[in-house]
Amino acid sequence: MIRSANKKDIDGILNILGKAFNTTMNKGREIYLRDLVLKELHCWRVMVLNDNIIGAVHISVNELRIGKAIVTKMDPGEVSVLPEYHGKGYGTMLMQDTIEWMKKENCDISRLGGLTEFYSRFGYLRFPRRYIEFTVGKKVQAGASMVKEDELFLEKEIISKIRQFNPKKDSQAYLKISEEFNKKYTTSRVIYSQPKLSEKNPLHLVYEDKGKILGFMFAIERKEDFSEFEAKITINEVGYKKDKQTVIGHFIKYLYNYSLKNKMKRITARVPFDPQIKEQLLKIPVNFKIIEIYGGKSSNMLQIINLKSLFTKLVPELENRLHNSLASNWRGTVEINIGKDNVKFFIGNGKIRLLNEILAELKIVIEEYYLLELVLGLVSFGEIKQLLNEKIELTPVTESLLNDLFPRKLVGSGNWE
């Protein structure tokens, strides 16, 4: 039996986390994990056999902004079965149940990170991770000489405006700037309340000028590199007020000098691939790479869980795009088919309405991977129209319609990868 967890299951979940992941359960770690499980008990599902918990999965829920639409993303994590039950199909049953449960809960998109071979069996597809990497104190060739990239000049006046984030004092400014900054990116996370931010993190920074917060940068420092895309110093979030993009350059210089002083070799940043941000980075004499990486044996993975639910929630944004389209007067029926699922809808009078059984005038048979890219705004329809599974004849009007419904957009970072 697989069911939602309750308070009586906490010890069983902790037992699984310790044994399945070969975790040393000292007293401090047990207290930390117990508190974590208790706080998010509603996110856990457990597998029970003979009154004993033998498997567990944590399913976190987030809402992502796609223009005027808000879609639901669920992320299975900590998927675990006791070692003595490995190889007997229990992990498969746990994941199959998880997929069905998410579908019933109107999950639109699901993401996880894990073994490609295992999770691809349940429909997950390899997707990239995006990040920017800065190398620190690197020696580079300059003509016949080797030159070390040393400390970056930062005016004393600028340094005086950068200070540690104070949750009690700065929370409202943070929320306002975060909302303003992120609303232009698809896949940015919808935040309804103040997240819990540490008062002790010296790398949670704000830029304050004449009593006003103009931007923030939240970074963390680990004991060592966690992965190729998560360095010892990792920037997890940035934001700045409109027309104050120079702030990000000040933050990068500040963090670069901090890393150089502490003999760290690189910084990674999970920030949008935005030309405005890139422009500011190009003004700094620092080596950086804009990286999109696909995992191999282990990877970031996504899939569409409920296509009808997804498109129901996308309607406000699709109607907004339709309103601004040269093909806004087009009337007709459309089917989008990804093999495992399909959705049908009517377009007319500037409105989009989902339908059940119709013979659509415009049928688009497309790989799920490409539809995910279209929905997230990573590519435009024009870029993948030759990759459709079934060739369709598009008139100038219908091609214009599809290009306008599915354009390439500025995409956020850290929420889908």
Please tell me the predicted confidence (pLDDT) of residue 139: 72
CA distances from 323 to 347, 357, 399, 416 (A): 11, 26, 16, 28
CATH number of the structural domain spanning residue 248 = 3.40.630.30
Q: According to the model, what pLDDT value does residue 18 have?
A: 83
Positions of the chain with pLDDT lower than 50, given as ranges: none
* Residue 154 covered by a domain: yes
Which pLDDT value is given to residue 337? 98
SS3 327: coil
Q: Which of 298, 228, 238, 301 is nearest to 268 (CA)?
A: 228
- Do residues 128 and 267 make contact, with C-beta atoms less than 8 angstroms apart? no
Kindly state whether residue 411 falls inside one of the protein's structural domains: no
Span 177-222, pLDDT tens digits: 999 999 999 999 887 766 666 667 999 999 999 999 999 999 999 9
User: Which of 293, 320, 338 represents a domain boundary (last residue)?
Assistant: 293
Looking at the domain assignment, is residue 243 inside a domain? yes
213 within 8 A of 177, measured Cβ to Cβ = yes
Query: Residue 272 contacts by C-beta under 8 Å, 6 or more apart in sequence?
Result: 185, 410, 411, 412, 413
Q: Does 287 share its domain with 200? A: yes
Structural domain span for residue 80: 2-126
- Domain's final residue, options 265, 293, 321: 293
The two beta strands, 351-355 and 162-164, are unpaired
**Residue 318 domain-assigned (yes or no):** yes
Q: How many CB atoms lie within 10 A of CB 415?
A: 21
The total number of structural domains in the chain stands at: 3
Do both 35 and 140 map to the same domain?
Answer: no
Same domain assignment for residues 50 and 147: no
166 and 289 share one domain: yes
DSSP string, 229-273: TB-SEEEEEEEE-TT-THHHHHHHHHHHHHHHHTT--EEEE----
Are 139 and 150 within 8 A, CB to CB?
Answer: no
- Give the DSSP letter of residue 153: P
Residues 280 and 157 in one domain: yes
Would 93 be classed as within a structural domain? yes
Same domain for 155 and 113, yes or no, is: no
Q: Tell me, what's the pLDDT at 198?
A: 65
Instruction: Looking at the structure, tell me whether residues 86 and 30 fall in a common domain.
Output: yes
Same-domain check for residues 224 and 347? no
Q: Which domain CATH number covers 381?
A: 3.30.1050.10
Same domain, 223 and 244: yes
* 263 and 311 housed in the same domain: no
Q: Which CA distances in Å does 354 have to 307, 345, 405?
A: 11, 4, 15
Is the CB of residue 145 less than 8 Å from the CB of residue 208?
Answer: no
- Write the pLDDT tens digit of every residue in 232-288: 999 999 999 999 999 999 999 999 999 999 999 999 999 999 999 999 999 999 999
Decide if 59 is inside a domain.
yes
Q: At which of 103, 126, 149 does a domain end?
A: 126
Is 410 contained in some domain? no
**Domain shared by 284 and 311, yes or no:** no
CB neighbourhood size of 320 (10 A) = 14
417 lies in some domain: no
| In a shared domain, residues 386 and 332 | yes
